[in-house]
Structure 1
């Protein structure tokens, strides 16, 4: 069941990362889409781009960047330029195995 709100409203914490990646791994039960998850990961990453983040956050930043990057690459490799310009991709899903791997890496 997807939320009507277009963005995830969670604090940028380790616990939130685990929750969001778990949503990605189980999209049928998730309140947000893979698109919204990728956008949240990008916002989290950007917030810590130019600051010295605590070690627990610092180790998550490559994972968050990978989620957003893989979203962009997945779309670019799946759709034509015209489709990329006109579709919302709200119902598009990346492979859930990717989220499972990101979740494992985040919880180490």
Structure 2
């Protein structure tokens, strides 16, 4: 089944290796996509992996699921803890950036596999 939950400018399959590559690009500041696009891509990845039977996930996919879920959750928490409701109504989400050290930690987590 091929679902498209979030429209995103990142046109890559939802895999462990692509998550790792995208994180590497952000860590090295070589990304040509916004962190907002990346958060949506991560959300799609979690939904894709969640659609697969959880018992059938490989260890790599399980790790990718956990890291991607953390990224999309932290994105949402960052927005609501950083900006007022009124500001969020007009905020250009493509201009929002999470702390760089978070991406480095997530990348290290994927590399621990």
Q: Same fold (TM over 0.5)?
A: yes
Mean alpha-carbon deviation: is it higher for 95-104 or for 50-59?
50-59
Structure that is richer in helix per residue? 2
Gaps of 5+ in 1: none
- Choose from 101, 104, 107 the match for 1:103: 107
Task: Check whether the contact 2:27–2:104 (CA below 8 A) recurs between aligned residues.
Answer: yes
Q: CA deviation at 1:49?
A: 1.1
Give 2:43's aligned residue.
42
Instruction: Determine if the alignment matches structure 1 residue 76 to structure 2 residue 80.
Output: yes
After TM superposition, where is structure 1 displaced by more than 3 Å over at least 4 residues in a row?
none
Q: CA deviation at 1:55?
A: 2.5
Q: Decide whether aligned partners of structure 1 residues 42 and 6 sit closer, same or farther in structure 2, where only a CA change above 3 A counts.
A: closer
Task: Check whether the contact 2:67–2:106 (CA below 8 A) recurs between aligned residues.
Answer: yes
Q: How many residues align?
A: 103
Q: Decide whether aligned partners of structure 1 residues 103 and 9 sit closer, same or farther in structure 2, where only a CA change above 3 A counts.
A: same
Task: Check whether the contact 2:8–2:40 (CA below 8 A) recurs between aligned residues.
Answer: no
Alignment RMSD: 1.6
Question: Aligned partners of 2:77 and 2:25: how far apart in 1?
Answer: 20
